[in-house]
Amino acid sequence: MTGLATRTPKERIDAGAGSARNIERRAPRWALALILPITFLGLWELGAVTGVVSSRLIPPPSTIGATLFDLAASGDLLGHSLSTTWRVLGGFVLGASVATVLGAATGVSERFESIFDPTLQALRNIPSIAWTPLFILWFGIFETSKVLMIGLGVFFPVYLTFSGAIASVDRGLVEVGRVYGFRTTTLIKRILLPASLPTYLIGLRNGLGLGWMFVVAAEFLGASQGLGYLLVDGQQTGRPALIIASIVMFALLGKITDRLLATAGARFTRWQDGFSRETAM
Amino acid sequence: MAGRIQQGDGDVIELRRVSKQFDNGLLAISDVDLSVGASEIVAVIGPSGCGKSTIVRLIAGLDRPSTGSVQVAGHRVSGPDRAVGIVFQQPRLMPWLSVEKNVSFGLDRDAGSDGVVAEAIERVGLTDFAEALPRELSGGMAQRTAIARALVTMPPVLLLDEPFSALDAFTRIDLQQHLLDVWGWYRPTMLLVTHDIDEALILADRVIVLSGQPGAIHSEIVVDLGRPRARTDRAFHSFQDRAMSELSQSSQVVTSGSQAHGSRRPPGSGR
């Protein structure tokens, strides 16, 4: 008998992993993940059909689906989605670029950090949305102020994560570079940046998430295009199905862009020896 | 392999009355005189916190002495130099680079260095793992990669800062042999810091015993044994006894010293 007690801890872990794999073979993980939402949607639909739930305020999934379909068929959905996505991407590229430069500088140079970091930390405490009225006064109500708003939201998580990641790169690795007489620019390029890449990627994904948050705020404040505009429109014209359809689109686009970013980044962080190598979660 | 050779070339490493005090006031080493001749293998042993690593860091140009002079090949050390290779206690490999890329890490790119890199990797027996990432290596293989990285430029001086102390006994003995093979390849001048008496006696022509703290030279043992050396040899045992008694004498100095200084260690000495 090979009882559990006679196995090494390693074997026991392997045995555990084996039974987990068995479950996966019977029902893949994504199928398990779908149980809860599908049950929920089913009950929701049922409630609307039987009249338990007021379908005027809480439209059933079928109505929302129909709304999405109509929007898509008329081409409006694509237009709104594209203008929102472009704003997010514009703001993301802007905010992330500035954050990367400043984060690298403050992470590498203590003097640079003393100059910039206190001010940036102070500014960070202002809720970025509080800037909106000022931005609208300065840059008008059109694209510029929106993209800048989003950029500001993206900036801080990227800056903080990247600066911190660089500053905490293993001193031993940096010393290897010093042994080879690397200058600061070479140290940054060949040791500091690659070593902080995994954390930087997390910062970028956080930043992108905030970008999607800020685009809603930006589009609330005067837009004639975009998913945020659809939200406002749905509220003003009393169409909850339109509101929920926009929310679904936000979730979808947010997930897709995050996934793309994670997949692109995973190529560069495959060397990691972490608890879970699956970076793209 | 003869014990000491090419002594006529003059001293390659030379420390004269070197002291090092760190910014926090800790005196790591005091008045150290040390010279290592061309192709000589010298081991420095001593209790932990006696400034062994500090000596290596001064020679490597990673730290500056507070007083005294540190010279390599007749030139005062003013910073890291390609003529001095170093192997740390931890392999310190770049985790995102393959073994091959790690070994060639310090070389100028496009210098047509493929052959040199391949040879260094072969010298440490990792040819089959050239494409492997550090996380796929065992501790011993990782440290062999670090040795290959230090060797790839064939530096005339090779410094080893407790290179095998994080490894298990079998791997350690294996790597000590590897190191002797490497020495036979181009006969670099080697300074090895260790707290393992056997390791020092197996590898070195001379063993310097440090006392601490602050680190100062307690005594010197000339290991005039032929090679290869066997741990089971009677002559080897007598050297072990001698080194052991020197070391315990030197640590008695430490015990009284460490009461005054507490358990503080110089920064960087731990790794």
Q: For position A85, what pLDDT does the model report?
A: 93
When mean pLDDT is compared across A150-164, B57-71, B134-148, B216-230, the lowest value belongs to: B216-230
Say whether residue A174 is in contact with chain B using an 8 A CB cutoff: no
Q: How far apart are the first and last CA of chain A?
A: 40
Is B97 within 8 Å of A271 when comparing Cβ atoms? yes
When mean pLDDT is compared across B15-24, B42-51, B137-146, the lowest value belongs to: B42-51
Q: Is B33 helix (H, G, I), strand (E, B) or coil?
A: strand
Fold of A61-266: MetI-like fold (1.10.3720)
Sheet holding B75-76, edge to edge: B27-37, B11-21, B67-72, B75-76
Q: Which residues of B touch A (CB under 8 A)?
A: 60, 62, 79-82, 86, 88, 90, 92, 94-97, 105-106, 133-135, 271
Helices (H), B2-79: 52-60
Q: For position B91, what pLDDT does the model report?
A: 93
Round to whole Å and give the CA distance between A61 and A167: 49
Which residues, 6 or more positions from A223, have their beta carbon under 8 angstroms from its beta carbon?
Answer: A146, A229
pLDDT band at B258 (very low <50, low <70, confident <90, very high): very low
Q: How far apart are the first and last CA of chain B?
A: 32
Model-level pTM?
0.75
Chain centroid to CA A106: how far?
24
In B25-142, beta strands by DSSP E? 27-37, 41-45, 67-72, 75-76, 84-87
Q: State which residue of chain B sits closest to A191, comparing Cα positions.
A: B94
Round to whole Å and give the CA distance between B93 and A22: 38
Domains of chain B, earliest start first: 1-79+156-165+186-264 (3.40.50.300), 84-154 (3.40.50.300)
Q: State which residue of chain A sits closest to B153, comparing Cα positions.
A: A180
Q: For position B251, what pLDDT does the model report?
A: 75
Q: For position A25, what pLDDT does the model report?
A: 60
pLDDT band at B194 (very low <50, low <70, confident <90, very high): very high
Element (H, E) at A135: helix A132-139
Q: State which residue of chain B sits closest to A173, comparing Cα positions.
A: B92
Q: For position B199, what pLDDT does the model report?
A: 92
Q: For position B109, what pLDDT does the model report?
A: 66
Q: State which residue of chain A sits closest to B107, comparing Cα positions.
A: A180
pLDDT band at A212 (very low <50, low <70, confident <90, very high): very high
Mean pLDDT of A217-245: 87
Round to whole Å and give the CA distance between B265 and B271: 11
Chain centroid to CA B264: how far?
23
With contact defined as beta carbons under 8 Å apart, do A229 and A184 qualify?
no
* R_g of chain A, CA atoms, integer Å: 24
Is B94 within 8 Å of A194 when comparing Cβ atoms? yes
With contact defined as beta carbons under 8 Å apart, do A166 and A192 qualify?
yes
Is A172 within 8 Å of B271 when comparing Cβ atoms? yes
Cα–Cα nearest to A166, from A113, A106, A240:
A106
Is A172 within 8 Å of B80 when comparing Cβ atoms? no
Q: For position A87, what pLDDT does the model report?
A: 93
Q: For position B128, what pLDDT does the model report?
A: 93
Is B62 within 8 Å of A178 when comparing Cβ atoms? yes
Round to whole Å and give the CA distance between A155 and A149: 10
Q: For position A16, what pLDDT does the model report?
A: 46
Q: For position B230, what pLDDT does the model report?
A: 83
Mean pLDDT of B70-82: 89
Which residues, 6 or more positions from B120, have their beta carbon under 8 angstroms from its beta carbon?
Answer: B103, B148, B149, B151, B152
Q: For position B85, what pLDDT does the model report?
A: 92
* R_g of chain B, CA atoms, integer Å: 18
A203 vs B255: which has the higher pLDDT: A203
pLDDT band at A275 (very low <50, low <70, confident <90, very high): low
Q: For position B112, what pLDDT does the model report?
A: 61
Query: Is pLDDT of A8 > 50?
Result: no
Report percent pLDDT > 90 for chain A: 36
Say whether residue A194 is in contact with chain B using an 8 A CB cutoff: yes
Separation in Å, CA B212 to CA A212, B23, B162, B254, B256: 61, 19, 17, 5, 9
Report percent pLDDT > 70 for chain B: 88
B231 vs B205: which has the higher pLDDT: B205
Residue to mutate among B92, B131, B133, with most A CBs inside 10 A, is B92
Residue A84 backbone phi and psi in degrees, to 5: -65, -45
Report percent pLDDT > 70 for chain A: 88
Q: For position A22, what pLDDT does the model report?
A: 53
Query: Is pLDDT of A43 > 60?
Result: yes
Say whether residue A275 is in contact with chain B using an 8 A CB cutoff: no
Q: State which residue of chain B sits closest to A183, comparing Cα positions.
A: B80
Kindly report, residue by residue over A148-165, the tens digit of the pLDDT: 999 999 999 999 999 999
When mean pLDDT is compared across A262-276, B28-42, B68-82, B195-209, the lowest value belongs to: A262-276
Query: Is pLDDT of B190 > 70?
Result: yes
- ipTM reported for the complex, 2 dp: 0.81
Which residues, 6 or more positions from A141, have their beta carbon under 8 angstroms from its beta carbon?
Answer: A221, A222
Kindly report, residue by residue over B9-44, the tens digit of the pLDDT: 578 899 999 999 988 888 888 889 999 999 999 999
Mean pLDDT of B104-123: 80
Query: Is pLDDT of A277 > 80?
Result: no
Cα–Cα nearest to B55, from B206, B201, B148, B159:
B159
